Amino acid sequence: MRDLFSRAGAGPVNGFRLLCAGACAALAVLASTSHADSIGQPHSTSAEQSGANLVLLGTAGGRTSWRGSQSAGIASAVVVNGQVYLVDFGAGWLRRYFQAGLGAPPPGQGLETLRAAFITHLHADHIVDYPSLVLFGASDGLAERRQKLKVIGPGSRGKLPPASGGNDGVADVVAPEQPMPGTVAMTEALYRAFAADINDNILDSRKPNPHSRVDVMDITLPAGLDVDPDRDPAPPMAPFEIYRDENVRVTATLVNHAPVYPAFAFRFDTSTGSVVFSGDTSPDRNLIRLAQGADVLVHEVIDTAWVDSLFPKPRSAAQEAKAHHLVHAHTAASDVGAVAEAAHVKTLVLSHLAPADSDPHRWAAASQGFSGKVIVGRDLLWIPLVPAAPESK
Ligand SMILES: [Zn+2]
Ligand SMILES: [Zn+2]
């Protein structure tokens, strides 16, 4: 029996093994057979509709896999009673936000309905277009909001990760005075970097100071959790609440995306259904615990054959390090079905596709070991969150 966690990155594992590998009936991968509106056309019902929906804004994972692809970078939304909860700021998320019909009318406004935003971790592909919020938020409706937008993301790693190959001390890092800023420090640095434009808008267009409209918070880990990010960045832990309002309760857990720390998965529970976002992770028992019984699990996935094609052997040390990270800090298509089965979720949605090409058959192995429904994600796909047998629309 294969142990999914034997290559789960730094740190000890507890021997957790999945019981269904090879025994669970595989289902056919549903190659985005929904009736989601085509790219460029707003969804007919928009954010005004009632109930809860998952909306995939961007489905491309990685720093480069979206280049030349029709897919935007990784970003998702949970829409509950007309309020939008955003997860990650991949390349092109703001464009997709409006294309999905999430912007509040009239055209030209937009982010009044964005209630809160969550960042899984601070890798570039998840935050590359966070500056879109910093720069355009005030003119895209944040100024008209009744309440502050909450942005909730990882805090600082606390220390630099060890250099691959063991050459600590020779790396020429940037910003040595604060080399691992968390979400709050990153945001303040962006305000400083873009102060010319932001202050121009404050004075010339009478837009508000973003501090008065956006409330940014680093996620605080539960008291008593002692984590060594170099040894084990995701020790076994119970999910903990990071946000709650009248529409959603959001819980989080650490996942193993070594050497990144902290890296989070998020779960959204609504009155009609639940959805979990894996963030970037190798197969992870904390994620399985967080996702227990969820209606939908949105999980990252990587094609390891694609990695091999990117870095043919013989490899340089740098190529070997990059290939190692891609394979060991992510989840292979052949492993993700067993994760979904262990979590007892009803529907597995593949996103953060690496590579982000258009052939869903590449991901057929994701159905291995999973008895539920598999959907290969694509941009602008709406999936209702309902308690049983959700059907994409
Ligand atoms: Zn990523
Ligand atoms: Zn990442």
The reported pLDDT for the residue numbered 359 is 87
The reported pLDDT for the residue numbered 42 is 40
Closest ligand to residue 281's CA: 2
Closest CA to 330 of 123, 142, 97, 136: 123
Residues in the chain predicted with pLDDT less than 70, given as ranges, are 1-50, 65-66, 105-109, 166-170, 387-393
On whether residue 146 sits in a domain, the answer given is yes
Q: Which residues surround ligand 2, an ion (CB under 5 A)?
A: 123, 280
- Ligand 2 centroid to residue 108 C-alpha, Å: 32
On whether residue 391 sits in a domain, the answer given is no
- Ligand 1 centroid to residue 67 C-alpha, Å: 14
The reported pLDDT for the residue numbered 70 is 87
Contact 356, 63 (CB under 8 A): no
Domain that holds residue 42: 19-161+179-221+234-384
The reported pLDDT for the residue numbered 7 is 38
On whether residue 294 sits in a domain, the answer given is yes
d(CA 112, CA 102): 10
Contact 310, 324 (CB under 8 A): no
Contact 210, 134 (CB under 8 A): yes
Closest ligand to residue 354's CA: 1
- Could you tell me the sign of the dihedral formed by the alpha carbons of 148, 122, 90, 285, in that order? negative
- Ligand 2 centroid to residue 107 C-alpha, Å: 34
The reported pLDDT for the residue numbered 175 is 94
- Ligand 1 centroid to residue 347 C-alpha, Å: 21
Give, for 183, the enclosing helix (H) or strand (E): helix 183-193
The reported pLDDT for the residue numbered 300 is 98
Per-residue pLDDT tens over the stretch 192-236: 999 999 999 999 999 889 999 999 999 999 999 989 999 999 999
On whether residue 3 sits in a domain, the answer given is no
108 contact partners, CB below 8 Å, separation of at least 6:
none
CATH code, 294 = 3.60.15.10
The reported pLDDT for the residue numbered 321 is 87
The domain total for the chain is 1
- As a whole-number percent, the residues of the chain with pLDDT over 90 amount to 68
On whether residue 6 sits in a domain, the answer given is no
